[in-house]
């Protein structure tokens, strides 16, 4: 607790050193960081993580390794009886964080009145609140901060100083930063225990000293930041808060809305009319909430009436319809105005939202489409309500619209793609009692499913039927099913459709099947014989609008009309397992030549082992694996499974023990490269969420190209990798969960009111090294607009295989906790402020139910996680980690790879030196690692201004590189920033000018090594290697080739990034007025240099990702 002003209490550890910002001061006892998280809610341990036992039961054969039980399917049978957990689906507990970091208390601000204007912020600050003051000596002190009534100074107590001196004049404030973005925060030993979203810093004085504070909630931090910025921006103007709040564009618009509805012109309307008017303006509001707000306003004025005045209408609308988090954002990006103009919006779209090639006219068009007031549309400004509508629109959706189109190379072999697949497509219920239903095919095909299953049996009147052979009550005529398939085959995707034919018919009815397929499908059927001269399957592009039949085939060398083949009867597996005669061999069935000839590219064969398959399997042959078998292989031979799937198609189907039609985890098998992982479409839940989310990408066409490390003929990748993937640059995903909107009560909840206590889980799915989950605090009793304001950070080692799943849950549930979810591939995320449209448990979009987030993805390869490196502790060359090449034991090859060691180190050093230099600039600008260089230039330009508002530096182009040249005396603190900027330009220049030479050396070593690829076995034999040692040599060779190719690609991408940075810096300097004034020649030169950079950029287009 804070003590009386003027106290002389000292820290327990002795007197604190003098505070440079406020003279000498003796501090009371340091504040404790061990206070319980008041707003954290009841964190039920059973939902905060995943136990190894529970995970093994739910996901046998996943990353946890082989199940302890002798029969994996027995575990699945037990799991099928349990209620599925929805809160978490991460399978590897070794990757779980041990709870959230202990942070400063999350106690919430008073909820009686929401912040909807600058005057609300000022009023809150004048009333004052407790903030924690952070000192560089790892001490944190409680202080009570207030804003003077005359708005001229910030004061705090207790303090040894006189009351007149324990203050900071508003006029001395240079800038206000949100987050841990000062040296004090970066060097404080307790900084990791402080929430990023609760920290703020007040920069003041000519030496840019910092007053570093921590609020006890992100809400309070935002109020202080917004209020102080507002005051600083208006420090030279007289402030009339009441007058200014009534003169905002929003207030003017609301008055016109009220007056238009006030038919009598008396300035008063019936409460019913006012309620309807607000409902019309904001359809998501509940009528009861609007009426309650009117009653609150009238009670505060000691009046009781059913009529509403204009002022009461405006006040009610502002309090009900202002989202504080959107207001804070608006004030931040509008430079403390209550609206955005076209320039503000342009800067927001470029710097925050990552939109390129934006123009002023495009911004004015957005304003015209979303601004609600006529005045705003005419004058070109966007007020809070229009800005809220824009953020909620599809233009700010989290899913990148580019990925709603075909963006991947569709000319690769079919085996290089993941394929959207359905299991027992005809079922809409469980496996045992579920009837066959034509709607199963309709649903799957409309969801871009590209592999469907048909189990065909003999039917009456010589007409084959499709049915669940455990329930023959509702068979479907085969003819009718394929008519529906023919109609919808290419409804959602024009790429090939695979029919997995389960043939249980007599030879006579097989011929009927063939007749129907030929007649109905016509030339859509692909029956061309595969070419033995080819080594890989045709591409999806070549097979467009084709239907491919998968099934058994008679030997081509036997000229017979019919013959016996093994019956791949997955349905019978249940019967065999439940019967005493489980050990019997699969039966043989007769197959006619006509049906055999329908099968071309997807001939079914049985898997024996990888050695046999790699020697004798033809590229047009494919194996089907049961879930248990595929899990065993994935755990025992992960590298071999990946290599096998480079050439051959693999199909994985759910265990026969999943009689409830529950789903396997597709990610386990995608990690191994398995293309066709069949899912029970009729069963919603976490696994189907992953499957549906994954195939949203690439235009939702049902085909997704696998990562190159899983396609290249010579490459090393293990499905069970627990660390960095060789040749792939890890990325850091930064997610801030800001707020939720209109959360419904869980559908399965019972005996409970409408109030919920929501929290958000963020799950990362991908290779085992990437799988993890985090959760927010719980917000008590708020479903309309719960504010979370929590930031998270995840390192992603293989971005191309990663997905993020947002799950909203109720922490005070009865019967059901699930509120909504959204699953999206990492590659499809849009950066910036985004609304996530939440889906229901069955996968439907819920109207007006959203999650407001901020997304950023940074590349921090080799240097640890962002926000861990400060200027004083940055990792240097000695601590730098390099991707090492492995010794193959083959001297000739090892001698070649040794030549690449130095170029690889050079490449890593160039990339890391540029990254570190960029981090230094961002830190000195007081910006977080996720900030763009454009934001850095904007921050610098506001500082580097002389007393007459002229810039004190100017853009100076030297050999097409944008240096900043001082025009006069620059303060020492800014010299430090300019020195860091010069270093960044220099490191970027080194990379741009030398990258090609280093890259060529790496590629030459890679090519020289690849010349020995075909001779590896012979070389190994000559060196006396055999068995495991030979396999290890081949594996090391693949590792080295992967490293060389990957590091070469990373260097090319780094050069392109550096070129883009130079271009963005120059554009930012020109837009900020940092070009030399009055010099048309200088501007012309800058323009020529920009064109030169663009030409360089275009010349290296082939090196882009």
Confidence tier at 1092 by pLDDT (50, 70, 90): low
Confidence tier at 456 by pLDDT (50, 70, 90): very high
- Give 3's DSSP letter: -
Q: How far apart are CA 761 and CA 776, in angstroms?
A: 7
Q: How far apart are CA 101 and CA 33, in angstroms?
A: 11
Over residues 1051-1079, the pLDDT tens digits come to: 998 999 999 889 888 888 887 777 764 44
- How far is the CA of 149 from the CAs of 115, 154, 1067, in angstroms? 19, 10, 43
Sign of CA dihedral 812, 818, 819, 821: positive
Nearest to 771 by CA among 195, 44, 55, 60: 55
The answer to whether 748 and 1061 have CB atoms below 8 angstroms apart is: no
Q: How far apart are CA 770 and CA 931, in angstroms?
A: 24
Residue with the two structure tokens 């499905």 = 719
Say whether pLDDT at 12 is over 60: no
Residue 176: exposure state from Cβ atoms within 10 A (0-12, 13-18, ≥19) = buried
* Percent above pLDDT 90 for the chain: 44
Strands 599-605 and 547-551: parallel
Count CB-CB contacts under 10 A for residue 597.
Answer: 15
Q: What is the pLDDT of residue 929?
A: 81
Q: How far apart are CA 1045 and CA 713, in angstroms?
A: 12
> DSSP labels for 432-479?
TTPPB-THHHHHHHHTT--EEEEEEE--GGG--EEEETTEEEEEEEHH
Confidence tier at 938 by pLDDT (50, 70, 90): confident
* Phi and psi at residue 824, to the nearest 5°: -150, 140
Range of lowest pLDDT (30-44, 229-243, 626-640): 30-44
Q: How far apart are CA 889 and CA 895, in angstroms?
A: 10
Confidence tier at 51 by pLDDT (50, 70, 90): very low
The answer to whether 29 and 12 have CB atoms below 8 angstroms apart is: yes
- First-residue to last-residue Cα distance in the chain: 55
Range of lowest pLDDT (136-150, 346-360, 561-575, 591-605): 561-575
Q: What is the dihedral of CA 209, 214, 219, 225, to 10 degrees?
A: -10
For the segment 437-445, the average pLDDT, to the nearest whole number, is: 93
For the segment 476-484, the average pLDDT, to the nearest whole number, is: 94
Q: How far apart are CA 868 and CA 864, in angstroms?
A: 7
Contacts of 472 (CB under 8 A, 6+ apart): none
Confidence tier at 47 by pLDDT (50, 70, 90): very low
Nearest to 457 by CA among 478, 481, 433: 478
Confidence tier at 579 by pLDDT (50, 70, 90): low
Residue with the two structure tokens 């990702």 = 1105
CA atoms within 13 A on the CB side of 10: 8
Over residues 133-184, the pLDDT tens digits come to: 988 877 888 889 999 988 888 988 877 666 677 889 888 998 888 888 888 8
- Three state DSSP letters for 706-743: CCHHHCCCCCCCCCCCCCCCCCCCCEEEEEEEEEEECC
Confidence tier at 66 by pLDDT (50, 70, 90): very low
Q: How far apart are CA 289 and CA 279, in angstroms?
A: 11
Confidence tier at 1104 by pLDDT (50, 70, 90): very low
Nearest to 571 by CA among 679, 456, 691: 456
E strand segments, 797-939 = 803-810, 818-825, 832-839, 845-858
Nearest to 637 by CA among 613, 655, 619: 613
Q: Return the exposure string of 315-327: e unless at least 16 CB atoms fall within 10 Å of the residue's CB, then b.
A: bbbbbbbbbbbbb
Over residues 367-384, the pLDDT tens digits come to: 999 999 998 999 999 999
For the segment 650-659, the average pLDDT, to the nearest whole number, is: 90
pTM over 0.85: no
Q: How many residues does the chain have?
A: 1105
* Percent above pLDDT 70 for the chain: 80
Helix pair angle (901-924, 1028-1071), 10° resolution: 40
Say whether pLDDT at 468 is over 80: no
Residue with the two structure tokens 């861990």 = 868
The answer to whether 157 and 2 have CB atoms below 8 angstroms apart is: yes
Most confident of 471-485, 573-587, 667-681, 1077-1091: 667-681
For the segment 516-525, the average pLDDT, to the nearest whole number, is: 94
Average pLDDT for the chain: 81
For the segment 336-361, the average pLDDT, to the nearest whole number, is: 88
Q: How far apart are CA 680 and CA 627, in angstroms?
A: 13
Secondary structure (3-state) at 822: strand
Say whether pLDDT at 480 is over 90: yes
């Amino acid at each position: 607790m804070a003590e009386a002003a003027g106290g002389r209490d000292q820290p327990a550890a002795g007197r604190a050193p003098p505070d440079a910002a406020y003279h000498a001061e003796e501090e009371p006892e340091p504040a404790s960081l061990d206070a319980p998280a008041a707003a954290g809610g009841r964190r039920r341990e059973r939902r905060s993580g995943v136990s190894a036992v529970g995970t093994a039961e739910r996901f046998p054969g996943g990353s946890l390794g082989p199940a302890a039980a002798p029969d994996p399917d027995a575990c699945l049978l037990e799991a099928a009886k349990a209620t599925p957990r929805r809160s978490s689906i991460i399978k590897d507990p070794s990757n779980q964080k041990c709870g959230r970091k202990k942070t400063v208390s999350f106690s919430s601000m008073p909820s009686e009145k929401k912040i909807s204007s600058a005057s609300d912020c000022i009023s809150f600050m004048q009333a004052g609140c407790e903030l924690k003051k952070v000192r560089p000596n790892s001490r944190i002190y409680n202080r009570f901060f207030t804003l003077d009534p005359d708005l001229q100074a910030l004061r705090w107590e207790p303090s040894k100083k006189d009351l007149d001196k324990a203050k900071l004049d508003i006029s001395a404030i240079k800038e206000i930063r949100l987050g841990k973005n000062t040296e004090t925060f970066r060097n404080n030993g307790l900084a990791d225990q402080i929430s990023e979203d609760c920290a703020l810093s007040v920069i003041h004085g000519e030496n840019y000293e910092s007053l570093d504070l921590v609020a006890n909630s992100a809400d309070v931090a935002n109020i202080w930041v917004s209020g102080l910025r507002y005051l600083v921006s208006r420090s030279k103007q007289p402030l009339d808060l009441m007058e200014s709040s009534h003169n905002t564009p929003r207030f003017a618009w609301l008055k016109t809305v009220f007056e238009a509805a006030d038919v009598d012109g008396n300035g008063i309307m019936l409460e019913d009319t006012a309620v309807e008017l607000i409902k019309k303006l904001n359809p998501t509001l509940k009528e009861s909430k609007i009426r309650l707000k009117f009653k609150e306003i009238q009670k505060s004025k000691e009046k009781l009436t059913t009529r509403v005045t204009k002022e009461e209408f405006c006040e009610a609308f502002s309090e009900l319809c202002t989202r504080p988090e959107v207001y804070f954002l608006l004030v931040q990006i509008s430079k403390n105005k209550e609206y955005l103009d076209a320039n503000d919006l342009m800067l927001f779209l470029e710097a925050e939202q990552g939109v390129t090639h934006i123009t002023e006219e495009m911004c004015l068009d957005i304003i015209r489409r979303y601004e609600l007031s006529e005045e705003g549309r005419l004058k070109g400004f966007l007020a809070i309500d229009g800005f809220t509508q824009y953020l909620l629109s599809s233009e700010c959706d989290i899913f990148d619209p580019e990925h709603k189109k075909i963006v991947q190379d569709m000319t690769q072999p079919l085996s290089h793609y993941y394929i959207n697949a359905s299991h027992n497509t005809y079922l809409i219920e469980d496996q045992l009692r579920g009837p066959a239903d034509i709607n199963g095919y309709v649903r799957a095909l409309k969801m871009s499913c590209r592999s469907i299953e048909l189990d065909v049996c003999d039917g009456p009147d010589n007409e084959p039927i499709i049915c669940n052979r455990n329930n023959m009550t509702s068979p479907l005529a085969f003819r009718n099913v394929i008519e529906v398939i023919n109609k919808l085959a290419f409804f959602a995707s024009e790429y090939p459709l695979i029919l997995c034919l389960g043939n249980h018919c007599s030879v006579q009815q097989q011929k009927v099947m063939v007749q129907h397929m030929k007649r109905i499908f016509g030339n859509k059927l692909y029956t061309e014989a595969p070419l033995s001269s080819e080594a890989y399957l045709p591409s999806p592009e070549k097979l467009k609008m084709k239907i491919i039949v998968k099934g058994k085939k008679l030997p081509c060398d036997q000229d017979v009309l019919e013959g016996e083949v093994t019956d791949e009867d997955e349905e019978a597996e249940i019967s065999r397992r439940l019967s005493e005669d489980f050990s019997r061999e699969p039966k043989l069935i007769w197959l006619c030549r006509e049906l055999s000839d329908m099968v071309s590219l997807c001939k079914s064969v049985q898997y024996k082992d990888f050695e046999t398959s790699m020697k004798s399997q033809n590229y047009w042959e494919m194996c089907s694996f049961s879930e248990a078998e595929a899990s065993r292989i994935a755990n025992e031979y992960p590298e071999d499974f990946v290599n096998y799937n480079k050439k051959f198609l693999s199909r994985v189907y759910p265990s026969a023990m999943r009689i409830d039609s529950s789903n396997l985890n597709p990610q386990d098998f995608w990690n191994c490269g398995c293309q066709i992982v069949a899912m029970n479409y009729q069963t919603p839940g976490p696994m189907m969420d992953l499957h549906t989310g994954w195939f949203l990408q690439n235009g939702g066409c049902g085909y997704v190209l696998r990562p190159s490390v899983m396609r290249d003929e010579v490459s090393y990748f293990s499905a069970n990798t627990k660390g960095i993937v060789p040749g792939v640059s890890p990325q850091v995903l930064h997610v801030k969960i800001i707020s939720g909107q209109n959360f419904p009560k869980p559908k399965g909840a019972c005996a409970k009111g409408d109030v919920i206590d929501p929290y958000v889980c963020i799950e990362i799915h991908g290779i085992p090294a990437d799988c993890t989950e985090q959760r927010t605090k719980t917000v008590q009793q708020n479903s309309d607009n719960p504010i979370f304001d929590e930031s998270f950070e995840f390192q992603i080692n293989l971005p191309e295989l990663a997905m993020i799943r947002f799950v909203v849950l109720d922490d005070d549930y009865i019967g059901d906790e699930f509120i909504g979810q959204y699953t999206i591939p990492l590659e499809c995320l849009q950066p910036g402020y985004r609304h996530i449209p939440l889906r229901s448990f069955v996968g439907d979009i819920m109207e007006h139910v959203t999650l407001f987030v901020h997304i950023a993805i940074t590349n921090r390869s080799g240097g640890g996680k962002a926000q861990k490196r400060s200027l004083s502790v940055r990792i240097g060359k000695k601590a730098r980690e390099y991707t090492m090449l492995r010794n193959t034991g083959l001297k000739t090859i090892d001698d070649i790879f040794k030549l690449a060691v130095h170029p690889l180190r050079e490449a890593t050093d160039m990339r890391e030196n540029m990254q570190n230099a960029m981090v230094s600039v961002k830190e000195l600008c007081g910006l977080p690692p996720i900030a763009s260089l454009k934001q850095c230039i904007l921050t610098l330009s506001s500082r580097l201004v002389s007393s007459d508002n002229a810039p004190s530096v100017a853009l100076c182009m030297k050999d097409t590189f944008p240096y900043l040249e001082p025009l006069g005396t620059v303060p020492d603190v800014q010299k430090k920033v300019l020195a860091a900027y010069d270093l960044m330009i220099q490191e970027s220049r080194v990379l741009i000018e030398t990258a090609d030479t280093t890259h060529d050396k790496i590629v030459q070593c890679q090519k020289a090594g690849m010349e020995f690829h075909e001779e590896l076995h012979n070389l190994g034999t000559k060196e006396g290697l055999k068995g495991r040692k030979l396999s290890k040599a081949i594996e090391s060779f693949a590792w080295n080739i992967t490293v060389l190719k990957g590091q070469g690609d990373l260097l090319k991408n780094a050069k392109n990034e550096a070129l883009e940075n130079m271009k963005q810096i120059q554009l930012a300097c020109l837009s900020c007025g940092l070009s030399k004034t009055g010099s048309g020649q200088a501007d012309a030169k800058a323009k020529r240099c920009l064109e030169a950079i663009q030409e360089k950029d275009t010349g290296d287009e082939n090196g882009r990702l």
